[in-house]
Structure 1
Amino acid sequence: MTEPDRPLDVLILAAGQGTRMKSALPKVLHPVAGRPMVAWAVRAAQELGARQVVVVTGHGAPQVEAALSGSGVRFARQQRQLGTGHAFLVGAQALPSTGDADILVLYGDTPLLRTETLRELIAEHRAQGSALTVLTGELPDATGYGRILRDADGNVERIVEEKAATPEEKAVREFNSGVYVMDARAPELARRITNSNPAGEYYLTDLLELYRGEGAKVRAFRLTDPDEVTGANDRAGLAAAEAILRRRINAAHMRAGVTLQDPDTTRIEDTVTLGRDVTLEPGVILRGQTRVADGVTVGAYSVVTDSVLEAGAVVKPHSVLEGARVGAGSDVGPFARLRPGTVLGEGVHIGNFVETKNAQLAAGVKAGHLAYLGDVTVGQETNIGAGTIVANFDGVEKHQSSVGAGVFIGSNSTLIAPRVIGNAAFVAAGSTVHEDVPEGALAIARGKQRTVEGWSRRYWGGLREKVGQKLPWLARWLARQGER
């Protein structure tokens, strides 16, 4: 088997508690740019074509395993957290026993590490014929990291931890990232790691000395960008990682033909798909499994989650969409809210302060202002007047209504669900509809207007003193009435 064809197995160490997060949520499940941190490591491993990916869990294991369920990984539980060397051994027991693969060690809290970097690391490891290659970086001040000490040939001689380093060793700028690729002997050698140190833990770094003790070559591959291996250990680190990933994601979309009018305020999660010639105005947030087709415009400060926007759709500013589908050429907003189950056909108009939920609106429907459409289907070219409400909840259950094609619903109407409004029917403005309306019929369901002349003068005149104190404009009007 040639070097490039050798299988690759990946161990992801994700058992730590992460006390600095001060959270009930396991550290590796804190989301960054739309994915839990550990999912970034899983994604990288799978993009490398790993034969087997094993995630070592410990603290919050049931939650971590549930979050990664269905992702194609295996799990190994580290019941007691006794150090990275122990975690490696626990994970290695879940790997295939064929002994023919390189093993890559990653961590569940380093979401910034690029797949391209790991691919280069593995290629260098194999090209150099190394037994173990450590991924390193260089910082002006590497305080807090283990330092890489090399021999005259550039091989890694040892890794010295900060607390054990001499002043000369602390001046070394090259640091250990903790990411390694090693040959198939690693699990066997790791069984020889001891915990004879002040912390009483098993350190994976001891593997380096075991390899060197056998005369094997240990090399280092230095990162170009040391930020890639920065871990998110607390909320500040989480925010910093989010900012870096956001810039990467935004830059990738702009290179692919998306216009971001203000990239610094635009947030696109990594799970979002965007077509060409999409325009995102300032402050836009796109989340979850959102898919945006070619030529869509999303207005300023709109939030779109788990939704589909078809070609040429326009979402105007300050709109909120969740679990919705917007048909080609439709427009939504401003200040509209589309809740889960909303499906808009082609050329639908949803105006300002319109809310929909579990509503299917066919092509050409218009709901321009201040309406609530819940649990309803609406046929083609129907007009929904301002202030219309579908009263779908009776206090116990939700009820479904149906409005046909070519219907006109007058302003300030209320449809008491479950209702069926036939094709081409009319509902007069201000009606409260509590019976079905047949096709082509006109429904008028409002009280008869009664006009009482001179009522205001008699009523307010009896309250003249209070009126003068509270409503001076009305007092002046009453005075004028008395002069007539």
Structure 2
Amino acid sequence: MNKRYAVILAAGQGTRMKSKLYKVLHPVCGKPMVEHVMNQISDLQINQTVTIVGHGAEEVQSHLEGRSLFAFQEEQLGTAHAVMQAEAILGEKDGVTLVVCGDTPLIKSQTIEALLKHHVEVDAKATILTSYADNPTGYGRILRDGQGLVERIVEEKDASTQEKAVNEINTGTYCFDNKLLFEALKRVSNDNVQGEYYLPDVIEILQSQGEVVSAYQTDDFEETLGVNDRVALAQAEIIMKSRINEEHMRKGVTIIDPNNTYIGPDVKIGRDTIIYPNTTISGECVIGEDCQIGPGTEINHSLIENETVIQQSVVRYSKIGNNVVIGPFAHIRPDSVINNKAKIGNFVEIKKSIIGQGSKASHLSYIGDAEVGSNVNLGCGSITVNYDGKQKYLTKIEDDVFVGCNSNLVAPVTISKGAYVAAGSTITEDVPEEALSIARSRQVNKNNYVKNLNIKK
């Protein structure tokens, strides 16, 4: 089998995006466009990948480090000039080179694989991935000869009125014989309206040498979408979102309203889980089977185990066990662990804490920097007072503790197993096992106090 190489074009500034963020780093469904492209290439048998970087080179490299080599294009002088920057790495190698743009996040590995196979089967020296567009404006047009063979590619800005009427477009993805590619690149000129070195000119050069130039046409125009502005970015987001949601539904997940459900590309969801509208699940999330998520819920980089219910709440960088109930309107902040059968109710905030099995904080509480044992009841308004203005401190609440409503536990403090804390207490010292701790002023009733004020009603 021929060796395979890939060149990702990711050096353009993307001026039409009108953004400080480098174009290929704009996210689609939460992941930079160039990462989507890299992930599809990684699914193929590619021997070496080279990413051409320019503007924002360090940021792109940080996203792709370890998965690609890099070549720097100091001046953006066109696509042919960009590919030429990879010559020092690939120029002398035998094999087939894929060239793909870093702003085509919807391209699929299956399509690239079909393109590569077609290229080899027809013994071509160059193969263009093409598609038909109802509105081809902005794309290079594929011009064929009388036998239907590719004659040349003409860019939109250089096309005549007749050529602009052609609907078969160049998607910007190609396969080349590697050595012939770099030989032809040296002959590309910039004699065009833009004064740039166009990669499609390599097609004409190879044809003039009598080499076979082919085209592989994909039926799915959407996956070839190049993102050059915010409008195209929004289109890509819609298409990717629909693709992701459909895949989950076909695997046994119920999504009540796919148009208003946002699931990232790295999310895994078990069968018979139901996702309600206006829910966002992003990052590397794993959600188990038979869960109910939403409506109006945001989950980011978290593990949710089986049969858990999360309603109208936020969960970030945390682990949630089996048969847990969260919400509505709870906030699970990073580094929290909510164990099996626990309940975190409305307007409860958990931060960097462990909540033991069967424990519950049903409403209006803040639990931060705490280790809570099993079967603990945290009454309404319970607060772990974890911060003295300079440093955070740990609160330990052991198994079977009952904390009454409106209690403040001033860390560092330990409430030992089976203890009770009376409602309204401010606890500043450790509480022994099975003790009742009362830390509040004694109630005083002053009879006839109001009468003696002589207030006229």
TM-score, normalized by the shorter chain, greater than 0.5:
yes
Distance 1:437 1:308 in 2: 34
Distance 1:458 1:336 in 2: 47
Distance 1:301 1:169 in 2: 50
**AA aligned opposite 1:208:** I
Counterpart of 2:401 in structure 1 is 407
Matched, 1:117 2:111: yes
Matched, 1:27 2:23: yes
Counterpart of 2:438 in structure 1 is 444
- Residues 299-345 of structure 1: CA distance to partner in whole angstroms, max 9, x if unpaired? 201000111101111112x1000011111111111111000011011
Aligned CA RMSD, in angstroms, stands at 1.4
Matched, 1:79 2:77: no
Deviation at 1:402, TM superposition (A): 0.6
Distance 1:456 1:235, change over 3 A: farther
Q: Does the Cα contact within 8 Å between 1:9 and 1:51 map onto a contact in 2? A: yes
Distance 1:128 1:234 in 2: 36
What runs of 5+ residues in structure 2 fail to find an aligned partner?
none
Q: What does 1:48-87 align with in structure 2 at a 5 Å threshold?
A: 48-70=44-66, 72-87=67-82
Q: Does the Cα contact within 8 Å between 1:7 and 1:102 map onto a contact in 2? A: yes
Q: Does the Cα contact within 8 Å between 2:54 and 2:73 map onto a contact in 1? A: yes
Identical-residue share of aligned pairs (%): 43
Deviation at 1:67, TM superposition (A): 2.1
Matched, 1:149 2:143: yes
Deviation at 1:457, TM superposition (A): 4.3
Q: Does the Cα contact within 8 Å between 2:158 and 2:193 map onto a contact in 1? A: no
Q: Does the Cα contact within 8 Å between 1:404 and 1:422 map onto a contact in 2? A: yes
Match of 2:42 among 21, 24, 46: 46
Deviation at 1:96, TM superposition (A): 7.3
**AA aligned opposite 2:447:** E
Distance 1:336 1:162 in 2: 53
Distance 1:193 1:92 in 2: 15
**AA aligned opposite 1:22:** K
Which secondary structure does the structure 2 equivalent of 1:50 belong to? coil
**AA aligned opposite 1:455:** Y
Distance 1:50 1:363 in 2: 48
Larger CA Rg, structure 1 vs 2: 1
Matched, 1:347 2:310: no
Matched, 1:269 2:256: no
Counterpart of 1:432 in structure 2 is 426
Counterpart of 1:469 in structure 2 is none
**AA aligned opposite 1:17:** Q
Q: Does the Cα contact within 8 Å between 1:11 and 1:92 map onto a contact in 2? A: no
Distance 1:198 1:34 in 2: 37
Match of 2:9 among 10, 13, 25: 13
Q: What does 1:188-203 align with in structure 2 at a 5 Å threshold?
A: 188-203=183-198
Deviation at 1:187, TM superposition (A): 1.4
**Which range is displaced more, 17-26 or 225-234?**
225-234
Q: What does 1:90-105 align with in structure 2 at a 5 Å threshold?
A: 90-95=85-90, 97=92, 99-105=93-99
**AA aligned opposite 2:309:** V
**AA aligned opposite 2:369:** D
Counterpart of 2:329 in structure 1 is 335
Distance 2:332 2:155 in 1: 54
Distance 1:170 1:236, change over 3 A: closer
Distance 1:211 1:245 in 2: 36
TM-score scaled by length of structure 1: 0.92
Matched, 1:285 2:280: yes
Counterpart of 1:301 in structure 2 is 296
Counterpart of 1:467 in structure 2 is none
Counterpart of 1:421 in structure 2 is 415
Match of 1:213 among 184, 194, 208: 208
Q: What does 1:392-403 align with in structure 2 at a 5 Å threshold?
A: 392-403=386-397
- Residues 380-439 of structure 1: CA distance to partner in whole angstroms, max 9, x if unpaired? 111111100000000111111111001010010000011111111110000000111111
Which secondary structure does the structure 1 equivalent of 2:315 belong to? strand
Counterpart of 1:320 in structure 2 is 314
What runs of 5+ residues in structure 1 fail to find an aligned partner?
465-477, 479-484
Which secondary structure does the structure 1 equivalent of 2:353 belong to? strand
**Paired positions, count:** 456
Q: Does the Cα contact within 8 Å between 1:8 and 1:101 map onto a contact in 2? A: yes
Deviation at 1:165, TM superposition (A): 2.4
